[in-house]
A and B are shown apart, each in its own frame.
Chain A
Amino acid sequence: MEIACVIDERLAISACPGRSGGPRPGRAELPDPVEAAAASEAMVRALEGIGAAVESERTGEAFFALDGMRGLYGGSSRGVLEAARRGVGNGVLLAAGPTRLAAYLTAAKWPRPAPIGALRTRLGAPEREAEELVGALERLGVETLAALARLSADQVADRFGPLGLRALRLCRGEEEPLRPRVPHEDLLEEIELPEGTAGHQLDRALELLVDRLLAAPQRLGRTLLGLRLGALLAGGGSWSVEQGLGRPSASARVLRNVLLPRLGDLPGPASALSLRALGFGPPASDQLELSVGGEEPRRRRLGAAVREVRAAQGAEALLKILPVEAASRVPERWALLTPYPELL
């Protein structure tokens, strides 16, 4: 088993002394967390684009197994790594090793023998707990990963508990298998707002985003499992929140109802709003009906008609007028034409 590690130092928080990187206070030249997440996503997609099954649990950092890919790239690990390099560009660190930890140590250019501090970000534990463990090991004179690997499991378990045992296993090259994510399609809608927008206008913008997301042809009639609502703040910086839907849905009403309250968490006026689908469920027609009656048959027929027109003429074929700023003195701000919502 050979594992490749890819680190974008501009995005990943480096724990390696003497090396910098990662979004952090005071590093104004670095992208903010939302931009960093988008760039990290682009990196993972680039790797998936060369056929890699990628595990990425930290921003700016990705792992994938080289086994099974060599045949695609000249039969050697080097060929795969070169393909990965071409995919993600030159600004990243890239290395391979028999385990995630070994690949990471090489990619992040940790000195050898690797100091125990290299474990800080590898334990999957809260920062404070990892720091306490590393601090305690250093105080006891266990200063390198090799020194920790030489200790017995009993000694480590007695003194450091489960987290210590996890550290020991990592140092001995015992890791869980990679957990690659399922590659997913990107469905994203964005709206630039004319200026710092808040309150009722934001609600309107969200309504518009939901309609556009549901009308996007790439959705192919599928339901959504979750959403990420994001905003660029007028005062600088950005904000985002993930929202599960509880059950798959493609109902504009359901989406609006779960997302609208989240707008209340926005820390300030926004200059742009975005909505990203985080997963797709079965097509809407597969969902169970909760209630039938009243206007439902008419609504369903109308929904079918909307889908039919849209399929024949495109997503922009059916539009509705969405009032935005009815009280504005500038007429072009009164209303927008937005995709007619898909009725279910």
Chain B
Amino acid sequence: MPGLRRLYAPQRARVRTDSAGTPLEVDAVAVEAVREEWLVEDRWWTPKPLRRHYFELVMADGRALTVFRLAGAQRWYRQRA
């Protein structure tokens, strides 16, 4: 939508993970705990299906952060959710 601004738009994030794909570090800040994780699958009926693996994290600096990884890609995003 040209000229429109979306709220809560995802922002790229640098995430280091363990072998199971669980975030260990987000933008060089360590992850203290994973509070929750869930999978979102949407628009599967369109040519651009959406599949995201979300993690709600507690960071070492005390912040709560939600990140997701696009299924099939190693790109991570942070998002207020």
Contact = CB atoms under 8 A, between A and B. Distances in A.
Q: Do A and B come from one complex?
A: yes
B15 to A, nearest CB: 18
A330 B50 contact: yes
B46 A195 contact: yes
A231 to B, nearest CB: 15
Q: Which of B2, B3, B40, B79 has the most CB of A within 10 A?
A: B3
Interface stretch (A28-36, A62-70, A217-225, A332-340): A332-340
Contacts of A254: none
A192 B3 CA distance: 11
B4 A331 contact: no
A337 B7 contact: yes
B8 A332 contact: yes
B4 A337 contact: yes
A319 B80 contact: no
Nearest to B39: A329
28 contacts: A191-B4, A192-B2, A194-B43, A195-B43, A212-B3, A316-B3, A319-B5, A321-B7, A330-B42, A330-B50, A330-B52, A331-B8, A331-B79, A331-B80, A331-B81, A332-B6, A332-B10, A334-B7, A335-B6, A335-B7, A336-B1, A336-B6, A336-B7, A337-B4, A337-B5, A337-B6, A337-B7, A338-B4
Given A191-B4, A334-B7, 18 more contacts: A191-B1, A192-B2, A194-B43, A195-B46, A212-B3, A316-B3, A328-B42, A329-B40, A329-B42, A330-B50, A331-B8, A331-B81, A332-B7, A332-B79, A336-B4, A336-B6, A337-B4, A337-B5
